[in-house]
Structure 1
Amino acid sequence: MAYLEYLASEYWPHLALLLSIVVGGTAAVHAAMTKNDVRAAIGWVGIIMMSPLLGPFIYLIAGINRIRHDHISEQRNKSLKHDASENDLALANLGAIAPPQFESLHVLGDRVSHFPLCNGNNIQMLQGGDQTYPAMIAAIEQAQESIALQSYIFDNDSVGRQIADALARARERGVEVRVLIDAIGSKYSRPPITRLLRKKGIPVALFMTNPLGFMRMPYANLRSHRKVLVVDGTVAFTGGMNVREEFLTSIAGAETCGDTHFRVQGPVVLQLLSVFVHDWEFTTKENLPFKSWCGSTRGAPMPQVPARAIRSGPDRYIVGTHNMLLGAFAVAQKHIRIQSPYFLPDQVLLGAINTAARRGITVDIVIPGRNNLRLVNYAMTAQLDQVIRNKCRVWRTRGTFNHSKLITIDGAWSYVGSSNMDPRSLRLNFELDMEVYSTGLAQEIETLIDNQIEDADAVTLEGLAAIPFRKRLRNRVIWLASPYL
């Protein structure tokens, strides 16, 4: 023992050097061999080599994808497909519903999603918490068999407690209830809603336990950003809205935040449920019985439209949304409308957007004038000139923060759900979206976006150049870290 203490005291610099070489070298090799994006690989190797001890620790926390690439629910997805009739699943003639250029996008969706594009769906847009939360609570109150609820943030506030009470009443009626909340998203309120749910006897689980325990980490990776409520396997709610009272005018008043959610009926409900079932099994190892959770999807009210779920995340479905958007921008012929609270597309998506604009397509991009994530807003501002120079029109809305994530193409195709247009959503988080072929829904979304544009401020190159140099430099420095914001 004395000899070891002597070696440690005399040769600790050499031992520290050896340790840093082994740890740093191992981490650098891992980054080089596992990162598919050359910029990410170079960045992580650089961080590790410049700080051989601290760098590997940062890489361990933020750089390693610990998510399994196998999907234990793949066989269940096949069962979900077989449960519906062939008429529900087959899309006989897309050309009768959407312009011809969307046929290639249909094929792309088949290969990206692995869910079929199904007829017979009814999709209703809900604006803000004033429409969304009462509709969700009403559906929960009518539940007879099962309720599956998943959210990134589920606050312990007036809205959260109303939903928790409705879930408890359903549980007392004998309804099977499961609630899945992201581990970091659960920390946005104190005490967390999980305590109340467990007190009421509601099964609740946290997705991907927070690596730093009690800390709230808004820029953490590998989070479940999905928002979905499925009741009796027949009606679902999905979109961009978390469970938070800041979306209710009766609570937030003039500071009410905006968002958009969707009420869904039809075969796509089973696709949304399938994603929840996998996430629940991944988190808790509980295999939910198929028959008791999947109801009949037939008989959705008119109008009925083709739609499918698109899942994406750091697993086998990585860059699913990224690929769908590349295809959608490529087939556009008239007008692209994008609304996103966090507009930070990578260079590939920027190229697709700019190429569409250079082809003569009108491209409108709507972003918040007030943003809830300051660093993202700085980075976003630093990148706007890259789309404006290529004739895209960028608009900053006035008023309160709007969390909506909406995209339409040529008044016929819509992409809605939880995905932001930033690296975190497109590569690092688990997201859930829908593509919908419907002129009615697309025009409803376009009207919503156009109304915001009428009361928005146009972002111009002159306006960006007028920003003081110190702020432009700050924005640019933060933009360098945009893949990790």
Structure 2
Amino acid sequence: MWTLLATYWPHILAIVSVLVAAVAAAHAAMTKDEVRSAIGWVGIILLSPIVGALVYAIAGINRIRRGSITAGRSAAGYEMLTHQSFDATHDIVAQRFDRRFAALKSVGDRITHHTLTTANSIDILKTGDESYAAMIEAIAGARRSVILETYIFDRDPIGMRLADTLIGAVKNGVSVRVLIDAVGARYSVPSIVGYLREGGVSTEVFNGSIIMGLRLPYANLRTHRKILVVDGAIAFVGGMNIRQEFTTEFAGSHSARDTHFRVKGPVVADIFAVAAEDWYFSAGERLRDEAWQLEPQTGDPDRPVFARVIPSGPDASLETNHKMLMGAFSVAQHSIRIMSPYFLPDRELVSALTTAALRGVKIDIVVPSANNLVLVDRAMTAQFDQVLRSYCRVWRANGSFDHSKLLSVDSNWAFVGSSNLDPRSLRLNFEIDLEVLDAGFASKIDAHIDTVIGSATQVTLARLRARPLLVRLIERILWLGSPYL
């Protein structure tokens, strides 16, 4: 046997290589929905025998399987206490706004199980100091339940303050659940997970899977959601991770900036459903007992703040954020305002934006001058010419790094939450955003973006092309790898 192997091992290796490559390439072709992704993986598999298939097995296969769990209201066994009178109808949206926003409502109805509801209120929290203080106050005042889901929860002074508040809530008899992404939990050493568990807080990490026999989290398929729901009555969502660098108290005047949102009303039920589903996926526990019952909704169903939860991720809700944005760009008539720390939209979104600009829609895109991810910043700089050539305006916000994710259309419709405009958020991460149809709220988003633009530096084609050729070439090379940044 050993003699046979020693003599024919090159032939055996060649046969194994062909078989493994054929299986891996067939799997990529059959499971990838995007042709560029399929071609890319097939190319890697065929051009790198054995190694390519191994890389595909680790990084290319979506291992998230949620079975029968969906984002629907009753899918995880939660009976919503909101009455149907809080559901916004197609006719009322058309009457109060325009038929094009009614059409956009139909998009949301068909890509997610969550309905557009009325009688909501949303407060904008513009700094980390304001956001963390509001969250800590809500947790400290909890009577029954707290569920927190986040990407990063650092073991730093602000993280410890929030952790101690959660531990205090447990000591007061409140049911508390904390879900932290497996990658985000490792941003600080030691992790906050152990401290929370020692304090009696039920804490889990999201998708801390085993790879090749090692307990390592996948680089992709992360929960990038930031959710806090207290007593089923008040929720916080947005882009704010739990880190001291976003507070002037600990980081000083050069602290990073972000925007978070405090939400009340019927939409809180759907925010809770998303977090509860993620908890069940990670911990196997359904949050059904009395502590987790949602507060009955009160208020005037005719109040004009319409809102809907848009969960997205590499499962049944794949690209719901992408589809919602495509719909919004297509109905815009006057303005599209975008503020994002990472602006790397795919070709479809770029085409939708530039087509809107060619129709006469005024489009402003705001990104930070100082970015925490240099490679991403270089890659998105290489993409600016695509939108600048088609009458969009791009601005570099001066000052410290701004992590805000804000978008408005025609000063009536807004899209806020955890999603960046990059491939990771649009395809690989689990995200949560809010679709908000309200002139007052959208105008506040516009005003905030206008304030930032007031001190920003405009990016022009002339300045981009005047830079050294080597710099532009490096940026284009980095841009080629943008789906993996």
Name the structure 2 match of 1:386: 386
Q: Which residue identity is paired with 1:86? A: Q
Deviations 1:68-122 (A, max 9, x none): 2544255653665652112123446124542332110011111112111111111
Structure 2 distance, partners of 1:210, 1:359, is 47
CA shift in 2, pair 1:441/1:297, >3 Å: farther
Quote the Cα distance in structure 1 between the aligned partners of 2:174 and 2:70: 23
* 1:18 and 2:15 matched: yes
| Correspondence for 1:202 | 201
Q: Which amino acid aligns with 2:99?
A: P
Cα separation, 2, equivalents of 1:290 and 1:354: 50
Partner of 2:162: 163
> Which deviates more, 13-22 or 145-154?
13-22
SS of the residue corresponding to residue 177 of structure 2 reads strand
Of residues 54, 58, 78, the one that matches 1:57 is: 54
The residue aligned with 1:142 is 141
Are 1:175 and 2:174 matched, yes or no? Answer: yes
Within a 5 Å distance, the mapping from 1:73-472 to structure 2 comes to 73=70, 76-77=73-74, 80=78, 82-91=80-89, 93-209=92-208, 220-289=219-288, 291-299=290-298, 305-472=305-472
Over 3 Å counting, the alpha-carbon distance change for 1:398 and 1:214 in structure 2 is farther
What whole-Å deviation, never above 9, does each CA across 1:255-283 have from its counterpart, x for those lacking one?
21010000000011010100011111111
Aligned pair partner of 1:47 in 40, 44, 61: 44
Q: Following TM superposition, by how much is the alpha carbon of 1:463 offset from its aligned partner in structure 2, in angstroms?
A: 1.1
Alpha-carbon shift at residue 292 of structure 1 (Å): 2.7
Aligned mates of 2:309, 2:60 — CA distance in 1? 28
Displacement of 1:295 after TM fit?
A: 2.2
Q: Is the 8 A contact 1:81 1:89 kept in 2?
A: no
- The more displaced of 448-457 and 65-74 is 65-74
Change (3 A) 1:297 1:326: farther
What 5-or-longer segments of structure 1 have no aligned partner?
none
Distance (whole Å) between structure 1 residues aligned to residue 312 and residue 268 of structure 2: 17
**Helix, strand or coil: the match of 1:391?**
coil
Number of equivalences: 480
In structure 2, distance between residues paired with 1:136 and 1:146: 14
Between the aligned partners of 1:323 and 1:18, the Cα distance in structure 2 is 43
Are the counterparts in 1 of residues 307 and 434 from structure 2 also a CA contact under 8 Å? yes
Q: Which amino acid aligns with 1:452?
A: V
Partners of 1:77 and 1:457 in 2: how far apart?
Answer: 48
Q: Deviations over 1:346-401 (max 9, x none)?
A: 00000000000000000000001111112211110111100000000000111111
Q: 2:4 aligns with which of 3, 7, 19?
A: 7
Secondary structure at 1:27 match in 2: helix
**Contact 1:341/1:403, CA 8 A, preserved across alignment:** yes
Take 1:132 and 1:198, find their aligned partners in 2: how far apart are those partners?
24
Q: Residues 81 and 296 of structure 2 are in contact (CA less than 8 Å); yes or no, is this contact kept in structure 1?
A: no
Contact 2:311 2:430 in 1 (8 A): yes
- The letter for the 2-side match of 1:5 is W
Quote the offset at 1:419 in angstroms.
0.4
SS at match of 1:350: helix
1:9 shift after superposition: 2.2
Residues 335 and 361 of structure 1 are in contact (CA less than 8 Å); yes or no, is this contact kept in structure 2? yes
- Whether the 8 Å CA contact 1:97–1:438 is kept in 2: the answer is no
Structure 2 residue aligned with 1:32: 29
Shift of 1:304: 5.6
Q: Which amino acid aligns with 2:87?
A: L
SS of 2:476's partner is helix
TM-score normalised by L of structure 2:
0.95
Contact 1:233/1:297 (<8 A) preserved: no
Distance 2:209 2:68 in 1: 22
Distance 1:134 1:243 in 2: 12
In the alignment, is the contact (CA less than 8 A) between 2:73 and 2:270 conserved in 1? no
Q: Percent identity among equivalent residues?
A: 49
The residue identity in structure 2 corresponding to 1:359 is R
Give, in whole Å, the separation in 1 of the partners of 2:226 and 2:323: 21
Output the CA distance in 2 between the equivalents of 1:197 and 1:22. 48
Once residues 224 and 258 of structure 2 are traced to their aligned partners in structure 1, the CA distance between those partners, rounded to angstroms, is 15
Equivalent position SS for 2:364: strand
Contact conserved, 1:121 with 1:267, CA < 8 A, in 2? yes
Distance, in Å, in 1 between the alignment partners of 2:250 and 2:59 is 36
- Quickly say closer, same or farther: Cα 1:390–1:404, change in 2 above 3 A: same
Give RMSD over aligned pairs.
1.9
Amino acid at match of 1:317: S
Residue type matched to 1:18 in 2? Answer: I
Read off the aligned partner of 1:456 and give its amino acid letter: A
Residue type matched to 1:89 in 2? Answer: D
